[in-house]
């Protein structure tokens, strides 16, 4: 703990933890140590309250009601859009589209932009480190249009190899689709540089921000990305709510992704006119309660401060890596350049399947993820079936790392016999 206690903590994670009811519970007879926030974060009481309050006192469908309850629900729903626009530094709330999750946001871009803009021989730049959600939609778009996927090479320590970027970009590149941060090994990528490089060859830049906006300050105008996708459930909000940020001009030029109610201006017998932004991309009744409660999560993150959260996670990861290096027979993945690394530690215990490690840790009340983390091409590149992943957030502290280390030692003891 000496390393940790020497740090001036910017974030009072101990009092933050009190806001999360699930973190006060027991798991398998032990206090829950939750180390799987990269999959989905826990929710503070006030987000849970907002969700319940919506259904108890404010529930009505939005946009169409001729009565006060519906106007109020509409205001709350669109209020989150305004907060989200401010959170991301977007020019206007019209550039914020609510979807179900990051996966749907990326699919929206791949279908609505990709199918109308990609031609045979055009190139989409991805990487082998991407989550399946930032690969498969582009595979589908490429298959339908005749475009081809190119891959940005990776360095030995799992960064994008920026020294090779000019060799994989060309005037044929129409889209660069890369992540803000890797969910598998925690690398934070230089997305400002990637935006510049993409634009220099006339391509667009779409950021998979599922692990970005929850852990890092994001300013879409400073980054100058064209699209940025995220999931509310990874940033203290409810499941079933995602966001696509897109530059107004691009969104205006794209066809709707889904057709139905709410996304139209008028409908004739054989034709329709789409609504203006953002409604053009929000067909049907959305997850109103989820979007309303998401505003409270955004406010919580704003108050904690994304820079503080990022710094806190970096300190925990540094501590975790130092401690894990002292345990023999543990293989660590990810860069040792901590400035380019977020709150993820991916590892394997030699000779033990990741799922067995996960199960033994679970017996100790420690929740981690084991497997390929939806990054099969990357695992194949490393020639492993998967890793164990511990991921940290604003409510984790060094005692969680200590519990993890004790758990790993227990795994080793069990498998020694």
Shortest distance in whole angstroms from residue 61 CB to ligand PMP: 25
- Asked whether position 348 contacts ligand PMP by CB under 6 A, the answer is no
Candidate list 37, 42, 80, 102; residue touching ligand PMP; CB under 6 A = 102
**Footprint of ligand PMP on 363-382 (CB under 6 A):** 374
Q: Which stretch binds ligand PMP (CB under 6 A): 18-26, 72-80, 97-105, 356-364?
A: 97-105
Q: Does 188 bind ligand PMP (CB under 6 A)?
A: no
Size of the site for ligand PMP (CB under 6 A): 14
Exactly one of 127, 145, 173, 231 binds ligand PMP (CB under 6 A); that residue is 231
CA dist list (Å): 197 to 175, 176, 180, 191, 223: 11, 9, 15, 10, 12
Q: Which residues are catalytic?
A: 374
131 binds ligand PMP (CB under 6 A): yes
Buried/exposed code over 315-324 (b: 16+ C-beta within 10 A; e: otherwise): bbbbbbbebb
- Measured CA to CA, the distance from residue 300 to residue 18 in angstroms comes to 13
Residue 51 in tokens = 């969700």
Structure tokens at 182: 């890797």
A 10 A CB-CB count for 260 gives 11
Neighbours of 276 (CB within 10 A): 9
Which helix or strand (DSSP H or E) is residue 348 part of?
strand 344-349
Question: DSSP secondary structure string, 77-127?
Answer: HHHHHHHHHHHHT-S-GGGEEEESSHHHHHHHIIIIIIHHH--TT-EEEE-
Applying CB under 6 A, which of residues 76, 84, 88, 210 lies at the interface with ligand PMP? 210
From its phi and psi, is residue 275 left (phi > 0), alpha (psi between -120 and 50) or beta? beta
CA dihedral 360, 366, 372, 374 (to 10 degrees): 150
Q: Which is nearer to ligand PMP, 80 or 133 (CB)?
A: 133
Nearest to 208 by CA among 115, 101, 281, 299: 101
* 101 part of the interface to ligand PMP, by CB under 6 A: yes
Q: With binding defined as CB under 6 A, does residue 206 bind ligand PMP?
A: no
Q: How far apart are the first and last CA of the chain?
A: 30
Rounded to a whole number of angstroms, the minimum distance from the CB of residue 350 to ligand PMP is: 26
Cβ closest to ligand PMP, residue 217 vs residue 240:
240
183 binds ligand PMP (CB under 6 A): yes
From 112-120, 206-214, 314-322, 380-388, span contacting ligand PMP (CB under 6 A) = 206-214
Choose between 102 and 330: whose C-beta lies nearer to ligand PMP: 102
Least CB distance to ligand PMP at residue 246 (A): 17
Give the count of beta carbons closer than 10 Å to the beta carbon of residue 385. Answer: 15
Stretch that binds ligand PMP, among 13-21, 204-212, 319-327, 355-363 (CB under 6 A): 204-212
Identified binder of ligand PMP from the candidate list 23, 97, 129, 179, rule CB under 6 A: 179
Q: Can you tell me the distance from the alpha carbon of 78 to that of 245, in angstroms, rounded to the nearest whole number? A: 15
Distance CA 149, CA 126 (A): 7
Q: Which of 112, 211, 335, 391 binds ligand PMP (CB under 6 A)?
A: 211
Q: Quick one: which segment of 135-143, 207-215, 270-278, 285-293 binds ligand PMP (CB under 6 A)?
A: 207-215
Q: Out of 42, 133, 173, 187, point to the residue binding ligand PMP (CB under 6 A).
A: 133
The least distance separating ligand PMP from the CB of residue 139, rounded to whole angstroms, comes to 15
Site string for ligand PMP, 16-55 (x = CB under 6 A): -----------------------x----------------
With binding defined as CB under 6 A, does residue 107 bind ligand PMP? no
Q: Parallel, antiparallel, or unpaired for β 173-179 and 227-231?
A: unpaired
Nearer to ligand PMP, 104 or 226 (CB): 104
Four-residue CA torsion sign, 397, 399, 404, 408 = positive
Among 63, 82, 79, 80, which residue's Cα sits nearest to residue 71?
63
Q: Which residues bind ligand PMP (CB under 6 A)?
A: 39, 101-103, 131, 133-134, 179, 183, 208, 210-211, 231, 374
């Amino acid at each position: 703990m000496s390393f940790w206690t020497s740090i001036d903590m910017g974030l009072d994670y101990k009092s933050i933890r009190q806001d999360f009811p699930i973190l006060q519970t027991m798991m398998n007879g032990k206090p829950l140590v939750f180390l799987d926030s990269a999959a989905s974060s826990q929710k503070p009481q006030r987000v849970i309250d907002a969700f319940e309050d919506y259904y108890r006192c404010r529930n009505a469908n939005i946009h169409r009601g001729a009565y006060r309850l519906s106007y109020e629900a509409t205001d709350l729903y669109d209020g989150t859009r305004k907060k989200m626009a401010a959170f991301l530094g977007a020019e206007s709330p019209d550039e914020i589209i609510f979807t179900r999750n990051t996966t749907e946001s990326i699919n929206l871009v791949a279908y609505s932009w990709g199918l109308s803009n990609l031609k045979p021989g055009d190139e989409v730049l991805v990487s082998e480190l991407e989550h399946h959600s930032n690969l498969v939609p582009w595979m589908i778009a490429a298959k339908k249009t005749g475009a081809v996927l190119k891959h940005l090479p990776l360095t030995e320590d799992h960064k994008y190899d920026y020294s090779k970027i000019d060799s994989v970009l060309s005037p044929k590149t129409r889209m660069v689709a890369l992540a803000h941060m890797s969910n598998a090994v925690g690398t934070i990528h230089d997305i400002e540089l990637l935006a510049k490089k993409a634009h220099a060859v006339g391509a667009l830049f779409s950021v998979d921000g599922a692990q970005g906006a929850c852990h890092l300050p994001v300013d879409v105008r400073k980054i100058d990305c064209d699209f940025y996708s995220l999931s509310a459930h990874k940033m203290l909000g409810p499941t079933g709510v995602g966001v696509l940020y897109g530059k107004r001009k691009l969104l205006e030029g794209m066809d709707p992704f889904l057709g139905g109610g709410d996304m139209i201006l008028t409908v004739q017998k054989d034709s329709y006119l789409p609504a203006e932004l953002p409604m053009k991309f929000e067909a049907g009744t959305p997850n109103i309660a989820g979007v309303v409660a998401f505003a409270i999560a955004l406010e919580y993150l704003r108050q904690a401060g994304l820079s503080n959260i990022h710094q806190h996670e970096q300190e925990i990861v540094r501590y975790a890596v130092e401690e894990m290096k002292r345990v023999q027979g543990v293989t660590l993945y990810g860069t040792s350049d901590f400035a380019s690394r977020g709150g993820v530690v991916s590892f394997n215990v030699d000779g033990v399947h990741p799922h067995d490690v996960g199960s033994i840790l679970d017996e100790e009340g420690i929740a981690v993820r084991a497997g390929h983390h939806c990054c099969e091409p990357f695992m194949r590149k490393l020639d492993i079936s998967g890793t164990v992943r511990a991921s940290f957030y604003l409510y984790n502290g060094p005692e969680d790392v200590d519990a993890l280390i004790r758990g790993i030692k227990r795994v080793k003891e069990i498998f020694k016999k």
